[in-house]
């Protein structure tokens, strides 16, 4: 089968997460991605550990750098800089996430590369854009705080919490990949390249979706609600005899089925619970009614019984349990990639399933040229 992005040449100056995640999406579908790294240290995440794998490689770096080649260039060296410019003028896509203005100092910004490569798609990823926020450092935790995500994450009377993964970087990487592919589609029709600007703050605001529109459309500022949903009930963790049950009841049919399984069909006709709006208004009373019945059984037992009547319910898995679940469901979540030493590394596969041009897995994340370990 052919690769959708075969013959696409990507020069990747980015490091850490958002940019490498975007370029890995392209590499997974056939693009040739050349990762440019600093002498000696390479990408920052090569030293972000523990944990390390059996070869002493940081697992953080491995998460977003498969299917890529790596070269080491010192952009302060005139010979290396000339090589970088040569590669950039021959590339289809350039991706970078340096502080705004730095690539211009090296003559590697979009405006200076465009005359020699008018079809170039040039993606810049920043924390806060290229305007007044250009000098602010764009780390995920900082964006989660300043961008409002931490204000809606965590329990009501607790401290603000970050999400357990660098979700803003992941969002930015996905938006960057979408922007690059959109620009390439335009280039295919016109021959014209363009700049793709991605900033983490805007990506987070867009990713807040319903929490953002509560403010923009209704003037309401959302707050922390723990595991509860601001607009749906019951949609939270509820206590059972041995632990927590996750319930995500999104409509009246599901709620009626839930009440039947719990042996309390009358709750579905109670005016306080008959509609979603009523359930949200009386969520504390509803929780008490449900937990009074749920404590008679185990979370796994209730989850199985509710699944049989198509009510979204489950238990809280750890990461190992999540991969076991996906494997048991036939989703094949893991791929084995060949390493340079003849071994293999196991990584999460790309979740995009294409019938004619599926993702390819050619190589493990590269060692930093000239090194054998971290």
Catalytically active residues, by annotation: 169
Q: In what order do the strands lie in the sheet with 313-314?
A: 235-239, 244-248, 313-314
Residue 196, number of CB atoms within 10 A of its CB: 25
Q: How many residues does the chain have?
A: 374
Residue 35 parent element (H or E): strand 32-37
Cα–Cα distance for residue pair 12/79, rounded to 1 Å = 19
Cβ partners under 8 Å of residue 293, min gap 6: 262, 263, 264
- As a whole number of angstroms, the distance between CA 50 and CA 56 comes to 9
The DSSP letter of residue 189 is H
The dihedral formed by the CA atoms of 171, 175, 178 and 179, expressed in degrees to the nearest 10: -160
d(CA 201, CA 94): 22
């Amino acid at each position: 089968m052919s690769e959708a992005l075969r013959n696409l040449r990507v020069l990747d100056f980015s490091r850490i997460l958002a940019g490498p995640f975007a370029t890995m999406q392209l590499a997974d579908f056939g693009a040739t991605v050349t990762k440019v790294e600093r002498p000696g240290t390479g990408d920052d995440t090569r030293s972000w550990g523990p944990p390390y794998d059996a070869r002493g490689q940081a697992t953080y770096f491995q998460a977003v750098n498969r299917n890529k080649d790596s070269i080491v260039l010192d952009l302060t060296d005139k010979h290396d800089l000339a090589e970088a410019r040569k590669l950039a003028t021959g590339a289809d896509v350039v991706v970078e996430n340096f502080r705004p203005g730095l690539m211009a100092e090296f003559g590697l910004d979009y405006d200076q590369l465009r005359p020699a490569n008018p079809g170039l798609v040039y993606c810049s990823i920043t924390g806060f854009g290229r305007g007044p926020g250009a000098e602010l450092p764009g780390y995920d935790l900082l964006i989660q705080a300043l961008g409002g995500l931490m204000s809606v994450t965590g329990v009501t009377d607790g401290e603000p919490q970050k999400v357990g993964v660098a979700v803003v970087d992941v969002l930015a990487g996905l938006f960057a990949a979408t922007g690059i592919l959109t620009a390439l589609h335009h280039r295919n029709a016109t021959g014209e390249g363009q700049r793709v600007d991605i900033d983490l703050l805007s990506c987070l605001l867009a990713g807040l979706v319903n929490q953002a529109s509560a403010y923009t459309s209704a003037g309401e500022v959302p707050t922390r609600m723990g595991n509860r949903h601001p607009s749906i009930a019951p949609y939270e963790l509820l206590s059972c005899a041995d632990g927590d049950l996750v319930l995500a009841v999104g409509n009246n049919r599901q709620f009626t089925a839930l009440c039947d399984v719990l042996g309390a069909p009358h709750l579905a006709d109670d005016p306080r619970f008959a509609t979603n709006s009523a359930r949200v208004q009386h969520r504390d009373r509803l929780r008490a009614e449900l937990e009074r019945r749920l404590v008679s059984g185990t979370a796994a037992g209730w989850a199985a019984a509710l699944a049989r009547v198509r009510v979204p319910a489950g238990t809280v898995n750890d990461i190992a349990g999540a991969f076991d679940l996906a494997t048991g469901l036939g989703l094949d979540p893991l791929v084995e990639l060949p390493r340079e030493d003849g071994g293999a590394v196991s990584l999460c596969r790309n979740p995009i399933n294409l019938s004619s041009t599926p993702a390819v897995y050619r190589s493990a994340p590269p060692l930093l040229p000239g090194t054998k370990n971290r």
